[in-house]
Amino acid sequence: MVGENLFVRETGAVAAQFHIPEAIEPYASSILATRRGVVLGKKSGIASIKLKCEELGLDAPAASHARLLDEVKSLAMRNRRLLTDDEFRQLVRDQEAP
C-alpha cells in the first residue's frame, strides 16, 4: 500500500475522523513522506468542507458549510471529477458575495 494519494480522503465519514489518523490509516504518512489531506467531490461531507477551509486558510462560517457542500457535490458530479482547490476557493468567494 503505497502512493501519493494513500493518505488523501474524500468521503465525509472518514474526513470526520481525520484528527485521529490511527483510526483511518494503516500507518503514519510520515513513514512514506506522503502528505495527508482532504479532497472535495461527490462523496464529501460537512467535515470535509471544514477541513478544506482550515487547510486553505479560508474563513467560511459554519452556517455556510451545508450550502458549500451542496455546490461541491453538484460541481463534482457535473464535471465528473474532484474539485481543485482554486474551484473551492471560488465557491467560498461566491458565498461571500452579496
Q: How many beta carbons lie within 10 A of that of residue 2, not counting itself?
A: 7
pTM: 0.79
Which grid coordinates belong to 89? 476557493
- Reported as a single tens digit per residue, the pLDDT across 21-68 is 666 667 776 777 777 788 999 999 999 999 999 999 999 999 999 999
Question: What single letter denotes the amino acid at residue 36?
Answer: R
Question: What single letter denotes the amino acid at residue 12?
Answer: G
Residue 14 vs residue 92, higher pLDDT: 92
Write the burial class of residue 47 (CB in 10 Å: 0-12 exposed, 13-18 middle, 19+ buried): buried
pLDDT of the residue at 8: 66
List the chain domain ranges.
Answer: 8-96
> Residue 37 forms beta bridges with which residues?
8
